[in-house]
A and B are shown apart, each in its own frame.
Chain A
Amino acid sequence: MTQQLSPQTTVRRRSTRPASRKAKQRPLFSFLKADRAPQVRTIKPWWRSRYFLAAGWGIAAIGLLLNAGSYLKADAASAQKDNCQKIVQSSAVLSREQLGKILTVPERSNQQTVRDIVTEPYCQLPSLEIRDGVTATREAYPLAFEPSTWLVMLYEGNEYAGFSFSFQ
């Protein structure tokens, strides 16, 4: 019985030993990588490296951040109220009807024409000298139905020169 068993055990040992050696020769964490020929990894050019890819995305991210920054700066414009130099009538707002009437006043009309429609503006903006020798005064009105939008009227002397809408 013993003589019969011993050859069997030696056969087993021989068959298992080479298998265990193979497992020891494998590199550490080899299971993480798919089976690759070693040539593919060694001749990988620089533009295929993940660092190049990461650098590309990094530059893209910086570019987008800078762009977003310029948008944010533009959005952070101060409110029209802060531009006021002197508040004339803090309760003044323009109704739709008044706005419609004001917009029909032609440029070069007398300031009184506008005053007849709305007696007082919310505030006066700082006066400017844009054109040589002429001082321009500006008055601002918030819209009753859209308080974030202001109508800015520009006068030169007593002459109405033009309007614009200021959006906050």
Chain B
Amino acid sequence: MKFSLFKYLGLGLLSFPLGLMGGCAHSTPAPRVLNFHQSWSLPVGTEIAGYQVSSSLGDISLNLDGDTVRMPFNGTIEPTEMDCVLVSSDDVPAYLFRLCGLSRTKFGPRQQGQTIGRANHLIFAMLRREPDGTWAMVEPSTQFIEQLLNQAF
């Protein structure tokens, strides 16, 4: 009868991580590393005087004050270096979207309009694929950013 102590405690507590594992197993893929077409000396993540560059040349920063950022298309959210995410879509070839400053992000496939995360200051970069496989920063359209913030499109 002494074993029942461990049995009940064990089974009761084991069931919590079991549920958690189901959620975490597919949500932590390896960060995707990109080769950029433009080579700047101060890209995002560079350390200056003990601080990290959070926004670099070519990034657009929006003060969202904690609002949600949504999927512009059906696509996939991947992690990248720094605390940024990459959003890609099979329906929109040749483009990648890098979003920094988001909290509560989850990785994996998402449908259009589903939440990517929340941000106080969203730092956004649009990347276009070059013939040599590198990614060039380009200027996004207002329409596209509106769709990201789920305004009328």
A interface list, Cβ under 8 A from B: 36, 40, 47-50, 52-53, 55-57, 59-64, 66-67, 70, 73-74, 77, 83, 106-108, 125, 128-133, 136, 138, 152-154, 161-167
B4 within 8 A of A: yes
Interface size on B, residues (CB 8 A): 40
Contact call A131/B23, Cβ cutoff below 8 A:
no
Known: A77-B111, A107-B131. A161 touches B9 (CB 8 A): no
Contact call B23/A74, Cβ cutoff below 8 A:
no
Contact call A74/B108, Cβ cutoff below 8 A:
yes
Residues in B53-91 with C-beta less than 8 Å from chain A: 74, 89-91
B interface list, Cβ under 8 A from A: 1, 4-5, 8-9, 11-16, 18-20, 22-23, 74, 89-95, 108-111, 126, 128-131, 138-144
Q: Lowest 5 CB-CB distances: which A-B pairs, in order?
A: A162-B94, A63-B19, A56-B15, A164-B93, A60-B19
Contact call A48/B4, Cβ cutoff below 8 A:
yes
Not counting A74-B108, A162-B129, a sample of 12 additional A-B residue pairs whose C-beta atoms are within 8 angstroms of each other reads: A60-B19, A64-B18, A70-B108, A74-B110, A128-B92, A129-B143, A129-B144, A131-B138, A132-B141, A138-B93, A164-B93, A166-B91
Chain A contact residues: over half helix, strand or loop, or mixed?
Answer: mixed
Q: How far is it, in angstroms, between the C-alpha of A56 and the C-alpha of B131 when the chains are bound?
A: 53
A77 contact set on B, CB distance < 8 A: 74, 109, 111
Contact call B93/A152, Cβ cutoff below 8 A:
yes
B90 contact set on A, CB distance < 8 A: 152, 164-167
B139 contact set on A, CB distance < 8 A: 131-132
